[in-house]
Amino acid sequence: MMNIQTIGFVACFVGAMVPAVVISLFGVSSQDAMSIGERFHAQTSHSRRGSPAEESRRQIVRPPTFKEYPGVRLIELAPPAHRGVRVEEAIARRRSVRSYSTKSMTRAELSQLLYAAQGVTSERSGIQLRTAPSAGALYPLEIYAVVNHVEGIPKGLYHYNVRRHGLETIREGDLSRQIRAAGLDQQSLGEADVVFVLTAIVDRARIKYRERAYRYVYMEAGHISQNIALQAVSLGLGSVCAGAFYDDEVNTLIGIDGFSEFSVYLHPVGTLE
């Protein structure tokens, strides 16, 4: 006599096997039958039969490790000084917060958040290591900040200069409506004091990891975003990570081409009542 769990397991197993049997019986190649996501996963897998596909038809040229905007105004940020709650407490208290108060974030808080995200913590063999891990220490991610309400920093779009721990001014102006619209009209993006936009310069990682690098940039964005989330808790701020956005609209807003550098994740942060 089979119990309900066993019946469920058998049904799932048969369900999973039928397409594979049909494919092999009728000679349909498994590649043809795969969805784009399944193909991506299969072709970027390591296995004992081989390494991820070398898809790129062009020669990959190593991009510089640090993206910098020469000649623009750099807003220097104070070194991180905050001593907050224990990490266990921050982990336990973290919750997605999508609505914020009208108070402004301080410049020190913004500095602390950026440092938690991508600050340089030590140097080894000439490589500046950062707060979040990165495959091969290649650091393919960049951070932009859409500033809406931060004391002493005009509203606008900024790029985080990792080496100098400062904000490079890309353009000033109120971009809250634009970032909200590009983010599927999510209220959190329009209300936040700052919206971090994480982008990937994928060739920094691709030069070593080939097409598997596309997996790594998403993993790394998760690490950075979690640092932001926990730092926000420790500062008494609210935040949420957001993967839902119109890619082309966010890319255009930031001023990147969407191929050599593309948006990966948004992370609004704001003050609480």
Q: Could you tell me the smallest distance in angstroms from the CB atom of residue 242 to ligand FMN?
A: 4
CB nearer to ligand FMN: pick between 93 and 171: 93
Residue type for position 233: V
CB 197 within 8 A of CB 254: yes
- Who contacts 260 (Cβ-Cβ below 8 Å, separation ≥6)? 63, 201, 202, 203
CB nearer to ligand FMN: pick between 228 and 240: 240
CB nearer to ligand FMN: pick between 162 and 235: 235
CB nearer to ligand FMN: pick between 36 and 244: 244
What distance in Å separates the CA atoms of residue 222 and residue 246, rounded to the nearest whole number? 19
**What is the greatest pairwise CA distance in the chain?**
77
Tell how strand 141-147 and strand 194-200 pair up.
antiparallel
Q: Could you tell me the smallest distance in angstroms from the CB atom of residue 92 to ligand FMN?
A: 11
CB 194 within 8 A of CB 157: no
Q: Could you tell me the smallest distance in angstroms from the CB atom of residue 77 to ligand FMN?
A: 27
Strand order in the sheet with 166-172: 74-76, 166-172, 156-161, 141-147, 194-200, 262-270, 238-239
Residue type for position 79: P
Q: Could you tell me the smallest distance in angstroms from the CB atom of residue 32 to ligand FMN?
A: 29
Q: Could you tell me the smallest distance in angstroms from the CB atom of residue 218 to ligand FMN?
A: 9
Q: What angle do CA 75, 99, 94 make, to 5 degrees?
A: 85
Q: Under the rule (CB under 6 A), what is the footprint of ligand FMN?
A: 95-96, 98, 186, 188, 240-244
CB nearer to ligand FMN: pick between 243 and 255: 243
CB nearer to ligand FMN: pick between 75 and 224: 224
Count other Cβ atoms within 10 Å, centred on residue 220: 24
Q: Could you tell me the smallest distance in angstroms from the CB atom of residue 169 to ligand FMN?
A: 27
